[in-house]
Amino acid sequence: MERKKHASILRSTRSIHRKTGIILFVAFFAVAITGLMLGWKKKVDVLQHPTAKGSSKNLSEWLPMDTLVALAHNEMKARNGADISLELSKVDARPDKGIVKVIYENHYNSVQLDAVTGEVLSYEFRTSDLVEHLHEGTIIDNYFGLPNGIFKLFYTTVLGMALMTFTITGFWLWYGPKVMRKRN
């Protein structure tokens, strides 16, 4: 490849790399920060509350699941008012800890209950879930009520393609000048 053509490709590559970086700076910064937070979530109690310990691991002593969920609902209403959504995301039973976590769909609050006594062991704002939704773009789908995670799909596709573009153009910005020097 002649030197002029090679230099032209390098200039184009630099321009693509710079413009893409400028356009996506905020998104990459957000993904980097939230990714770090998610990596550390099990080590930092602020991001993820520790799982409490219940009074018994023996499942035959546990209250029925519908009773435990009703107790969690009562706690949720007592703390947030009767208008709080009680739509369940999941009920996470932890036999090894003797507890049940009741996690809700439309907000980031959850309740940990002793599975035998029904006592509320922890009420928490699930910061790690919020951070995860920021990281993957789900928060926009939820906020605007978009169907089928369409924004998340768009967001992850754009950021994935941009990361590939940065990798390729960054490599060429490093390697291209080496090729030009060898040809001189």
List, for residues 28-85, the tens digit of each pLDDT value: 999 999 999 999 988 887 888 888 999 999 999 999 999 999 999 999 999 999 999 9
| pLDDT tens for each residue of 134-151 | 999 999 998 999 999 999
Is the distance from CB of 83 to CB of 63 less than 8 angstroms? no
Which residues does residue 92 pair with via DSSP β-bridges, in sequence order?
101
Predicted local distance difference test score (pLDDT) of residue 32: 93
Rounded to 5 degrees, what angle do the CA atoms 119, 121, 126 make? 130
**Separation of first and last alpha carbons in the chain:** 12
Confidence at residue 98, expressed as pLDDT on a 0 to 100 scale = 96
pLDDT for 18: 86
Average pLDDT over residues 125-134: 93
pTM of structure: 0.78
Q: Which structural domains are found in the chain, ordered by start?
A: 1-46+126-184 (no CATH), 49-124 (3.10.450)
Quick one: DSSP state of residue 109? E
Mean pLDDT computed over every residue of the chain: 91
Sign of CA dihedral 78, 80, 82, 86: negative
